[in-house]
Structure 1
Amino acid sequence: MASTEMKSASDGVIADLNYAFSAFKEANDERLAQLETRMGADVVTEEKLARIDRALDETKSRLDRLALDLSRPRLGGATPEDQGGREHKSAFNHYMRSGEAAGLKALEAKAMSRTSGPDGGYLVPVPAEREILRRLAKLSPIRAIASVREISTQSLRRAYCTSGPAAGWVAEADPRPQTANQQIADMNFPAMELYAMPAATQALLDDAVVDIEQWIADEVQVAFAEQEGAAFVSGDGVNKPKGFLSYTNVADAGWTWGNIGYVVTGVAGAFAATNPSDALFNLAYALRAGYRQNAKFVMGRRAQSLVRQFKTTTGDYIWAPPATADATASLMNFPIVEVEDMPDPGANTMAIGFGDFERAYLVVDRIGVRVLRDPYSAKPYVLFYTTKRVGGGVQNFEAIKLLKFGVS
């Protein structure tokens, strides 16, 4: 689809989204009026609201897909700038199509490459690697809002000051009192191996029109994004990144470094019946102002369908649809990041997160995406064992808070 056609399509989807949200507000206002005048809302009204809510989610998904297509360049039109890049691209293309690895072996020996792992395999060309990582940033929602660091070693170790710098005010001639020792946390973020194994027919590989780099990026992007996306949320840190929901959670009033603070809705598995949005405001203001400026809400679709119904005391809805294809929906004027790996609201679940994730969560990418060609294991198909190393974990425990659907 041409870019102008894509732009026109995205404008149409935005119009559909705004129309659906107007219908949603009308139906929800009708439901609220029924709740005030009778014992409960009419069943027909509830069903109508649920249908419109599903339509909102489906329309938003269409908009997300169009936004991804609009931002996706074709690898086939890019030409490596240096001779080494062209040689690597040519040798990699030859290896992928025919299995001939002599060219890649010579290049890696010349470069004294140490990035190949014990299972073998060869590095994909740099443009293809960058395209895979760029697509992951679009498809993996936590990666898109977190800090990302590239490393060439097995792990990233860093020191973090948990108490802030010791400082104070003195006059020009006054003695300088000894400052208190700063509290330093030693943090380690190992890069774990993530793999995908796309399959191709020999006919596809023999087709000279097919861009092999484009094909491998297309095949692995979703598999990588789904695996790392789940790990960044709830991974246990064993052979995978540690998700922010896997750290010890404590009531925010008793928060200490190394834990994630939470506030409660006041009802197990639900929002309070009266002034339900108060819990969201409490969550937002549990975060320090310095982090709140760049903060975002993180939640799944079920949680978003609940908060979509909430209004302020002046009757304004606190949820708003995105204004453009590359924007997101907002809640209380803070962006919403839809993360399907977040749990649905239930008894004592942490279904909504809020924070400055760029400062709170760190994603570590080890440079190099490797491919090992396997024409034997699944004849007549050719498998491509594709691996990358990625790690992740919370780096600033002050910069994130959670909403617990419970009483305490």
Structure 2
Amino acid sequence: MNTHMATRSRVPASIGMAIETKKDGEGNKAETPSETKKAITEVMTAFEEFKTANDARLKELEAKGAADPISVDKLDKINKHLDKFEDLNKRVATAEGVKKALDDLQEQFDEMETALARRSTADTPEAKAAELKQRVNDWGRGVVDAYAKGEANLTEDQRKALQDVRDEYKALSVGQDTTGGYLAPVDYVREIIKSVTEMSPARSLARVRPTGMKSISQPKRTGQFSAVRVAEQGPRSETDGLRWGNVEIPAPEAYALIDISEQNLEDSFWDLEAELREEASEQFAVLEGAEFVSGSGVGEAQGILIHDDVAETNSGAAADITADGLLSLKYGIKTAYARNASFALNRSTMGAVRRLKDGNGQYLWMPGIAMGRPNTIDGDPYVECPDMPNVQAGAFPVAYGDFRKAYTMADRVQMTLLRDPYTQATSGNVRFLFRRRFGGQVVLAEAIRKMKIAA
């Protein structure tokens, strides 16, 4: 029996030892890969370097009125390096990715075992070496003797060795199809290379309500009465002020339409219909995230930056963001909303926030990977929303608050597909029509605020 066949179908102990098993506060087991421990060290080291470089930049600004370009360049490089760990931080915080890493490792070992199993038990290294040595000797002596005596005077083994080399050369000449190119096909990878599609995670922030009607209607208190003091026998008049209103959230339609030839559907190596479903689902999510931030509310969802009743906080500097402005934004909402509040900003703004320090010289942004928690801004979580604007004069680059209380999304119809082989039949095409009905609206504006960059 080949010793290689004895390979066990599991991750070796030497690899398994690289993963430590710990318990969280609730007693659940959570495995932390050694690679994650290495990343934690790298993040914390980079953050210390970031603070040192930024402190030097601030001193240069105070002393000279301008920062050294070399210091700024160094700071930007460290900032970009920290950006690479944002996704890892999320995985560590939610204990995701460990199982996938183990599954990938198991798959690699399974492939190795399959490859080893294919080797014949008689195909030993010693036999291969002896055969190769004999062939080389026959070929080498044949070349010399053919030059000295002529090919007609070679032994049968020598002539066969020379002919084998000629045949092999022709067989391996893939430069031309007729000499072997047809026999050497390309390796077709069953994976499509796709660029990343960025979208704002609207559904993870807002409240989502499914409905079977054209819209969602919900009553809303718009005014309150006040309690007042009165003398023992004093007159009592009505404490007027309690008022009610109604909020209606429509669910308008969105669609995507694609035509594909029947022959393409028949002959394609891919399941094109499944691929189209995935693409359409992704693009509806992109539209949903964009409207959550800046939708007009007319025939589409209403954005958090568009609603007139969402209060704003000035950034505190012209065309820039400041720590005081960010803290004013945070403490501008009521305490009840702050319990579940988070920041919403894009990656570019996140880089600017990392440079900010409060009045005590403490950085507002803090990494949480070492403690298995999300990174924070002044102790509060943040969500990366690519659709939020950059820091520039007149823009609203940061929003803060309890988005779940502030914003409600209406789901009328999930994505559906209409496969139409008739409309474009004379053109040889099949039409795929995807549609969804959804909407969204700010229902409690006081639960969130937005920061405005001064002009």
1:372 aligns with: 418
Aligned to 2:405: 359
5+ residue gaps, structure 2, are 1-10, 20-30, 101-197
**Residue 282 of structure 2 aligns to a residue in which SS?**
helix
Question: In 2, Cα distance between the equivalents of 1:174 and 1:224?
Answer: 63
The amino acid across from 2:389 in the alignment is P
Q: Does 1:185 find its partner at 2:245?
A: yes
One-letter amino acid of the structure 2 residue matched with residue 40 of structure 1:
A
User: Which AA in structure 1 matches 2:299?
Assistant: N
* SS across alignment from 1:282: helix
Aligned equivalent of 1:404: 452
Q: Deviations over 1:130-173 (max 9, x none)?
A: xxxxxxxx9642221111111011111111112357768999x9
Aligned pairs (5 A) from 1:5-404: 8=33, 15-61=41-87, 70=96, 140-164=200-224, 178-197=238-257, 202=265, 218-248=278-308, 259-271=309-321, 276-323=322-369, 328-375=374-421, 384-404=432-452
Cα pair distance change 1:45/1:196, threshold 3 Å: same
Query: Following the alignment from structure 2 to structure 1, what is the Cα–Cα distance between the partners of residues 334 and 226?
Result: 19
Task: Give the structure-2-normalised TM-score.
Answer: 0.61
2-side partners of 1:321 and 1:11: how far apart? Answer: 14
Moved more, 307-316 or 193-202: 193-202
Residues 323-359 of structure 1 deviation map (CA, whole Å, 9 limit, x = unaligned): 3899543111111111111111111211111111111
C-alpha deviations, 1:240-262, integer Å up to 9, x for none?
101111122xxxxxxxxxx1211
**Greater Cα offset, 11-20 or 224-233:** 11-20
Measure the CA separation in 2 of the matches of 1:198 and 1:56.
40
How big is the shift at 1:46? 0.6
Percent identity, please: 32
Aligned length: 324
* 8 Å Cα contact 2:92-2:373 kept in structure 1: no
Unaligned runs of 5+ in 1: 75-137, 249-258
Q: Is the 8 A contact 1:198 1:219 kept in 2?
A: no
Q: Deviations over 1:197-249 (max 9, x none)?
A: 57885369898xx7987x6664334212211100011011222101111122x
1:180 aligned partner, one-letter code? D
Structure 2 CA distance for partners of 1:170 and 1:219, relative to 1, 3 Å: farther
SS in 2 for 1:265: strand
More off after superposition, 22-31 vs 154-163 = 22-31
Task: Provide the C-alpha distance between the structure 2 equivalents of 1:11 and 1:270, rounded to a whole number of angstroms.
Answer: 36
Q: In structure 2, do the counterparts of structure 1 residues 60 and 387 end up closer, same or farther at CA, with 3 Å as the change threshold?
A: same
Contact 1:149–1:364 (8 Å) recurs in 2: yes
Q: Which has the larger radius of gyration?
A: 2
Contact 1:28–1:309 (CA<8 Å) still a contact in 2?
yes
Q: C-alpha distance in 2, partners of 1:169/1:15?
A: 62
Looking at structure 2, the residues matched to 16 and 367 of structure 1 have their Cα atoms a distance apart, in angstroms, of 46
Aligned partner of residue 229 in structure 1, secondary structure: helix
Q: In structure 1, how many angstroms separate the alpha carbons of the residues matched to 2:78 and 2:238? A: 64
Q: Match of 1:254?
A: none
Give me the whole-angstrom Cα distance separating, in 2, the residues matched to 1:67 and 1:206. Answer: 39
Measured after TM superposition, the shift of residue 34 of structure 1 is: 2.8
Q: How far apart are residue 305 of structure 1 and its match?
A: 1.3
Structure 1 pair 30/380, CA: closer, same or farther in 2 (3 Å)? farther
User: Whole-Å Cα distance in 2 between the matches of residues 294 and 204 of structure 1?
Assistant: 52
